[in-house]
């Protein structure tokens, strides 16, 4: 055998030896993110309330029955939803709610939409809209003793859906978010059973987020 042929065989054995050692290293590296990461499922009690934005609502009234529509922006804090290595997204889906007034009445939403998406470990912004169609009794203004009717409390029901990201399964948790309308301003009048009133509260307070199981 010539010296050149001998050198070729030595080089070939060296390459094959290196390839044999590289296979288990690649396999171990591919398995590392799942096996090495500490993963926990987010519990339904991990979401907390963040800041509340401005509350606005409007009552369009005919024959003293008002259709009330409104909106609220708010934040949810998922910092306590520790899932370890993975930080999956989550979405929320509205399931209705209620609005209470200064005359002691409470009306369930006819239409309620609480939607949005957040990321585990962050504070995320959401929007809620609602409507109560033609069910809310609105008293006439200008008839003494005049006591304006204003909203005092609003509650939204929603489901938080933690999107699956292996090895974390999909988890769904239901909540109710309630807050007080403490200093609403009113604009508009109801005369002879007809009119439009707008309410605004720039500082809704006392947000309470309750898991519904």
Does residue 197 carry a pLDDT above 50? Answer: yes
Domain count, the chain: 2
In a shared domain, residues 52 and 145: yes
Same domain, 52 and 128: yes
CB atoms within 10 A of CB 172: 11
Q: What pLDDT does residue 198 have?
A: 96
Segments forming the whole domain that contains residue 23: 1-36
Question: Using CA atoms, how far apart are residues 178 and 97, in angstroms rounded to an integer?
Answer: 9
- Which whole number is the average pLDDT over 56-67? 95
**97 pLDDT higher than 60:** yes
Average pLDDT value for residue range 119-144: 87
Both 80 and 164 in a single domain? yes
Whether residue 141 lies inside any domain: the answer is yes
**Position 41 in a domain:** no
Global pTM value:
0.74
Query: Is residue 24 located within the same domain as residue 67?
Result: no
Q: Which of 50-59, 89-98, 130-139 has the lowest mean pLDDT?
A: 89-98
Residues 122 and 192 in one domain: yes
Mean pLDDT of the chain: 78
Phi, psi of 28 (to 5 degrees): -65, -40
**pLDDT of 34 above 80:** no
């Amino acid at each position: 055998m010539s010296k050149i042929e001998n050198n070729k065989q030595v080089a070939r054995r060296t390459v094959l030896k290196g390839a044999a050692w590289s296979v288990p290293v690649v396999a171990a590296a591919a398995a590392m993110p799942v096996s090495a990461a500490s993963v926990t499922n987010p519990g339904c009690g991990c979401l907390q309330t963040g800041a509340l934005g401005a509350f606005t609502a409007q009552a369009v009234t005919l024959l003293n029955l008002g259709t009330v529509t409104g909106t609220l922006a708010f934040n949810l804090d998922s910092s306590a939803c520790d899932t370890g290595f993975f930080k999956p997204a989550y979405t929320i889906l509205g399931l209705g709610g209620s609005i209470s007034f200064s005359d002691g009445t409470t009306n369930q939403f006819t239409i309620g939409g609480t939607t949005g998406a957040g990321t585990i470990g962050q504070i995320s912004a959401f929007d809620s809209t609602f409507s109560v169609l033609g069910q809310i009794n609105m008293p006439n203004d200008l008839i003494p003793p005049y006591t304006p009717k204003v909203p005092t409390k609003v509650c939204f029901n929603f489901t938080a859906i933690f999107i699956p990201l292996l090895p974390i399964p999909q988890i769904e948790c239901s909540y109710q978010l309630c807050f007080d309308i403490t200093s609403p301003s009113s604009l508009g009048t109801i005369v002879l059973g007809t009119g439009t009133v707008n309410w605004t509260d720039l500082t809704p307070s006392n947000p309470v987020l309750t898991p519904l199981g």
